[in-house]
Structure 1
């Protein structure tokens, strides 16, 4: 799930458990920070700072770390004892206070499925990086309208409508309307 984590103060609560979980999972895998950096493509400095609770990282970076550890994104961001069916953690905030993404929950799929709620204030956007082949998204607009800019061409999704597409391409969510747009997003891998 390659997404850019755009962080403004305060930092999203999805990062609260990353440092502890990353250290625990890395040690369980018997990997040094340098070995994890080599396996994940995430810099050793970022791993050191994440474990110290002093760094932000893109959501795609968390996916890379999880993959290198044989874990899931949800394994990295939730308290070890929490049920994954109800996570309710803010993972992204935009420039405007009404723009945010909340990871609601997750359930197993081939690898993982995630349920999110999003809101985008007028004029705000979220730019994503391509996911691995085989990943998909399902987006359902609950209020307003959403423009999804994709490599394969744009999709305009009106209130009450949805789009399903491969997320193994560059894409962006754009609110070019005059009111806040809200939508539900499922990520399936």
Structure 2
């Protein structure tokens, strides 16, 4: 997770507290959560102590292991009736090398969840994602520039004004190979089989 100093600290503190709360409510030991998420126990300890800055991929693994959504962990998940999220409360969960960003705008509670993201990628930036759980689907709409979308050795160009639907249950990436900024919105739908 990256962003401005105070934003990162605020989000990391909320993440630390919420992961610990979810883990304890589910009566999961650090060892069990570590095993389920495929993350070292030491890393989980550091996250819960607010000493680590977990990546989006790591938050996805932890949330899936506890059957909650990333939105639950960063506290932008839906609430009964209407849940308004102020601009200052929208977390930035990725920062590119040149200042690009990924913000989780809103999401539903897990394990079956929907998330809404806004991405900005500066020239040369790339985000690589491990496979999400089976059945995860991403819907993207490019508002500016041309997004490169890659999955299983395939490379697709998604131009300004165009949309794409991608199964995200395999490793994939988003890249900006142009000389201009790329801006896109993304909805993620994740359904867990019962």
Structure 2 length as normaliser, TM-score? 0.83
**Residue 152 (structure 1) shift:** 5.5
Aligned to 2:55: 58
Aligned to 2:33: 36
**Residue 72 (structure 1) shift:** 2.0
Alpha-carbon distance between aligned partners in 2 of 1:25 and 1:161, rounded to the nearest angstrom? 38
User: Which protein is richer in helix relative to its size?
Assistant: 2
Q: Over residues 93-152 of structure 1, what are the superposed CA-to-partner deviations in whole Å (9 max), with x where a residue is unaligned?
A: 01112x000100013687011111111111111111111211111110001111112216
**Residue 89 (structure 1) shift:** 1.1
Aligned to 1:96: 98
Aligned to 2:160: 159
Which 5+ residue runs of structure 2 have no aligned equivalent? none
Q: 1:80 to 1:17 in 2, by over 3 A?
A: farther
Displacement over 4 Å in runs of 4+: 79-85
**Residue 30 (structure 1) shift:** 1.6
Alignment of 1:100-139 (within 5 A): 100-107=101-108, 111-139=112-140
Alpha-carbon distance between aligned partners in 2 of 1:112 and 1:155, rounded to the nearest angstrom? 26
Q: Do 1:37 and 1:43's aligned partners in 2 also have CA atoms closer than 8 Å?
A: yes
Matched, 1:16 2:18: no
Which 5+ residue runs of structure 1 have no aligned equivalent? none
Secondary structure in structure 2 of the residue aligned to 1:154 = strand
Count, aligned residues: 183
Q: 1:81 to 1:139 in 2, by over 3 A?
A: closer
**Residue 39 (structure 1) shift:** 2.8
- Aligned-residue Cα RMSD (Å) equals 2.5
**Residue 84 (structure 1) shift:** 5.9
Q: Over residues 22-64 of structure 1, what are the superposed CA-to-partner deviations in whole Å (9 max), with x where a residue is unaligned?
A: 1111111122222222232221111111111001223232222
Structure 1 length as normaliser, TM-score? 0.85
Q: 1:39 to 1:132 in 2, by over 3 A?
A: closer
